[in-house]
A = this chain, B = another copy of it.
């Protein structure tokens, strides 16, 4: 992941969230609320004023943490992307058959989705209307290539059904994973592992007995 180019200027600040925190109004709460608003009203429909109102702080208190709305968006999508690329890196570096590394990637991605739900939701709704959004889309495409490569390898190794175009298999596989954001809401801590299990079972072996 660290090998991925990071051209946004906010990165250095983002790397030190703890040093910049103020009690009650730390960067983490700010990001959580921002992600929620971006999702509910869209990025364009969310103003810094409204964000301040939600947090009970002034706009200038937000600017203590970030340069502006675009940096906030970047921090949100990077949180999601960093998690996904960390898992993808493990899957790429691991030894063994591609199908097992693919399963690791699927299970790990479900983990990232459930743990970073608001951030992944924002990432998956990005449309490409700004520099930050286009950079996020480019990293998503990079992630999709990693998945597609693993699917292709697994098919070449005879472990994935050859009767579906591997590009479509890859898309459907992560379509299944990403669909979680539409209905998953955390309840108990064990949810995430059970869900990763359910997704892996259904994706790899289907719903049929």
Partner of A175 from the list B44, B99, B176, B209 (CB cut-off 8 Å) is: B176
Taking CB atoms and an 8 Å cut-off, the chain A residues in 180-209 that contact chain B are 180, 182-183, 195, 197-199, 201-209
**Complex contact B176–A172 (CB within 8 A):** yes
**Complex contact A203–B207 (CB within 8 A):** yes
Q: How many chain A residues touch the partner (CB < 8 A)?
A: 42
**Complex contact A172–B179 (CB within 8 A):** yes
**Complex contact A40–B127 (CB within 8 A):** yes
> A136 to nearest B CB, angstroms?
14
Number of copies of this chain in the oligomer? Answer: 2
> A149 to nearest B CB, angstroms?
15
Q: In the assembled complex, which residues on chain B have CB atoms less than 8 Å from the CB atom of A45? A: 42, 44-45
> A80 to nearest B CB, angstroms?
15
- Return the chain B residue nearest A40 by Cβ: B127
Known contacts A175-B175, A179-B179, A182-B175; decide if A209 and B161 are in contact (CB<8 Å).
Answer: yes
> A42 to nearest B CB, angstroms?
5
Known pairs A40-B127, A168-B198, A179-B179 / 20 extra A-B pairs, C-beta < 8 Å = A99-B208, A158-B209, A159-B209, A161-B201, A161-B209, A163-B201, A164-B197, A168-B195, A169-B198, A169-B202, A172-B176, A172-B179, A172-B202, A173-B202, A175-B175, A176-B176, A178-B182, A203-B206, A204-B208, A205-B206
Contact sample, A vs B, 12 pairs, CB 8 Å cutoff: A40-B127, A42-B42, A162-B209, A165-B198, A169-B198, A171-B183, A172-B176, A172-B207, A175-B175, A175-B176, A179-B179, A205-B208
Sorted nearest first, the 8 A-B pairs with minimum C-beta distance are: A175-B179, A206-B206, A205-B206, A176-B176, A164-B198, A204-B208, A204-B206, A168-B198
